[in-house]
Chains A and B, each alone.
Chain A
Amino acid sequence: MFYLKLIIRNAFRHKLRALLTIIGVAVAILAFGLLRTLVGLWYLGVETSSATRLVTRSSISLVFSLPISYRERIRHVPGVTEVSTMNWFGGVYISEKNFFPNFAVEPETFLKIYPEFVLDPAQKKAFLADRQGAVAGRKLAAKYGWKVGDRITLKGTIFPGQWEFVLRGIYSGAQKSTDETQFFFHWNYLNEVMRKTIPRRADQVGLFTLAVARPDLAAEVSQAVDALFKNSLAETRTETEKAFQLSFVAMTEAIMVAIQIVSYVVIVIIMVVAANTMAMTARERLGEYATMKSLGFRGYHIAGTVFGESLFIALLGGIVGVMGTFPAAHIIETELSQFFPVFAISTSTIMLQLASAVAVGIAAGAFPTWRGATIRIAEGLRRIG
């Protein structure tokens, strides 16, 4: 009890110094948490991917498409319960800076395979019934003030022309991590226009998404699908949704590694700053440590109070930093929703933040603790006066 009292009073002896150190640690821990979350987001698609979903695409590259005729053949592979078609549309809403993902999908099968996109039954019915119908995520609709029934025009980039849709539904995510900023419309609408305008691009599918009965069938089904089209003009590559997402992530991996490094650099910087402050504090108190030792206190008593103070300050900063992470994440989520549709702080990030704060406390306290523990009494006493 006495030592706790001593630690806390010592920590706040220089109020401004303590406050600045705590703020410094808090800001570093906050930045660390946000950067870690950003990195985590990159892998979010991977983590939230379903184990019973497969993606079939051209074995050459994603930009090559596959014939629609594959659909029925895939459908009959044992273990496959559902197949849907999907094309990345890449349409632009009014101007380039209004980016959001938009896809042409086969609506009925798509909604079955992706139950995380939740639609009101009446809206679902209306969407299925309207060839030019589209659905948008809740956040996307809110951002542009769209209501059900609105006409929305996208400018085609991959598929030229002005594309007009009628918003038939607004979906919400089943989980917090579900992306609510996407836009989906009928693949048939896209295909019909292509038939009329650029016939050679008709009946082409970017990806097939497959549902399998059980996760353990994934490998078997993948091989069976790819075997089916072996030695054909358009060979396929089928993999789990997770593997598919990972291949995207791999492209930007270097940036993520850089961000990860920066997140640790932030911690190292605050370690150095805090270590300097603690060393300064301990140097000023060497006389006190010597006095306490002359009274019979031992090196470990002194070490405990010095180390405790360092840990206490760092943890306090860490807690403030963690508490600040939530409002900061909320601001990012609302202000930068087109880039970060979901900016949620995970429990593991919080744990990592607190662990970093402890690490800062340990690193900052190490030298002063050693100094306090080993200071010779006669030497320490000479420093007073």
Chain B
Amino acid sequence: MTGSTSDILVSVRNLSKAYQRGSQIVPVLEDISFDIPAGEFLALMGPSGSGKSTLLNLIAGIDKVDTGNVLIDGIDITTLDETELADWRSGNVGFIFQFYNLIPVLTAFENVELPLLLTGLSRRKRQEHVATVLSLVNLTDRMDHYPSELSGGQQQRVAIARAMVSDPAILVADEPTGDLDRHSAEEILSLMDRLVREFGKTVIMVTHDPRAAERAHRIIHLEKGVLVPVPPSVPSCST
């Protein structure tokens, strides 16, 4: 975990974020700084409401920081405007959500094709890419199924294929196994593990699940909006 600076892909610097709730300002993240080397499988843990999702969203460029910087591959994404950010996201980040977030009226194939519609790729090229990632997640035979016709584990594999199809350097996953049974969860974790090892992806995964966190190269803990170096006690999830 002591990679040289040249290996650093994500660099979070003095990040703060607060939400307004009525007249009250609620701090969510306070002065967060850390680095993520390229090719790392990072788990982000912490109790519910500690700001994990917020931090992940800020790194993925789908929420705005109050102060601080997020440097990704040399680009400070906090300086990008809405349009630049949308373009940056579609080329650099793949999203995996707890509830898969597939579009119900689109088939598995069409869901995976979605990000490619924003590129100038020809129909044939798009189909090739979709077919490749669907075979990677082992769902070639289910590509014409609608999300409602797939199990949770299968839906999450479709979501992973969708995240992979534009070949981004970073995958962000917010509790990707939170809604899955043990077996499906293991499948998803193995798949993400493969994406890191075989395809060199950098994965940032928020999780509650210690068994999921075990797969990660490194675990960082958030507690009430600040990073804590060591979890207060080993069975941190019991309360």
Using CB atoms and an 8 Å cutoff, list the residues of chain A in contact with chain B: 2, 6, 9-10, 13, 287-288, 291-298, 376-378, 381, 384-385
* Beta-carbon contact of A295 and B90 below 8 Å: yes
* Beta-carbon contact of B62 and A10 below 8 Å: no
Give min CB distance, B8 to chain A, whole Å: 24
* Beta-carbon contact of B86 and A296 below 8 Å: yes
Give min CB distance, B28 to chain A, whole Å: 11
| Residue of chain B at shortest CB distance from A301 | B118
Q: Which residues of A contact B83 (CB under 8 A)?
A: 298
**Assuming A2-B117, A296-B87, what are 9 further A-B pairs, CB within 8 angstroms?**
A6-B105, A13-B105, A291-B97, A295-B89, A295-B90, A296-B115, A298-B86, A377-B63, A381-B97
Q: Is B41 among interface residues, defined by CB-CB distance under 8 A? A: no
Using CB atoms and an 8 Å cutoff, list the residues of chain B in contact with chain A: 54, 57, 60, 62-63, 83, 86-87, 89-90, 95, 97-99, 101, 103-106, 114-115, 117-118, 162
Give min CB distance, B110 to chain A, whole Å: 8
- For the residues of A in contact with B, the DSSP-based class is helix
Give min CB distance, A281 to chain B, whole Å: 12
Give min CB distance, A374 to chain B, whole Å: 11
* Beta-carbon contact of B62 and A294 below 8 Å: yes
Interchain CA distance A381-B95 in the complex, whole Å? 12
Q: Given the known inter-chain contacts A6-B105, A288-B101, A384-B101, please indicate yes or no for A293 contacting B117, CB distance below 8 A.
A: no
> Which of B60, B90, B114 neighbours the largest number of chain A CB atoms within 10 Å of its CB?
B114
Give min CB distance, B52 to chain A, whole Å: 13
Give min CB distance, A3 to chain B, whole Å: 9
Q: Given the known inter-chain contacts A294-B62, A295-B95, A296-B115, please indicate yes or no for A9 contacting B86, CB distance below 8 A.
A: no
| Residue of chain A at shortest CB distance from B114 | A295
Name the contact of A296 in the complex, choosing from B89, B97, B99, B103 (C-beta under 8 A).
B89
Interchain CA distance A32-B56 in the complex, whole Å? 54
Q: Which residues of B contact A292 (CB under 8 A)?
A: 103, 114
* Beta-carbon contact of A377 and B97 below 8 Å: no
| Residue of chain B at shortest CB distance from A377 | B62
> Ordered nearest first, which 6 A-B pairs have the shortest CB separation?
A296-B90, A9-B105, A377-B62, A378-B63, A291-B101, A295-B115
Give min CB distance, A117 to chain B, whole Å: 60
Give min CB distance, A53 to chain B, whole Å: 62
Q: Which residues of B contact A385 (CB under 8 A)?
A: 98-99
Q: Which residues of A contact B60 (CB under 8 A)?
A: 294
A-B contact pairs, 6 of them (CB 8 A): A6-B103, A10-B105, A296-B90, A296-B118, A378-B62, A381-B57
* Beta-carbon contact of A13 and B62 below 8 Å: no
Interchain CA distance A105-B60 in the complex, whole Å? 89
Interchain CA distance A294-B90 in the complex, whole Å? 8
Interchain CA distance A377-B87 in the complex, whole Å? 14
| Residue of chain A at shortest CB distance from B98 | A385
> Which of B86, B87, B90, B99 neighbours the largest number of chain A CB atoms within 10 Å of its CB?
B86
Name the contact of B106 in the complex, choosing from A6, A295, A381 (C-beta under 8 A).
A6
| Residue of chain A at shortest CB distance from B63 | A378
* Beta-carbon contact of A384 and B97 below 8 Å: yes
Give min CB distance, A17 to chain B, whole Å: 14
Q: Given the known inter-chain contacts A377-B62, A381-B97, A384-B97, please indicate yes or no for A293 contacting B86, CB distance below 8 A.
A: yes
Give min CB distance, B232 to chain A, whole Å: 27
Q: Which residues of A contact B115 (CB under 8 A)?
A: 295-296
Q: Given the known inter-chain contacts A297-B118, A298-B83, A378-B63, please indicate yes or no for A291 contacting B103, CB distance below 8 A.
A: yes
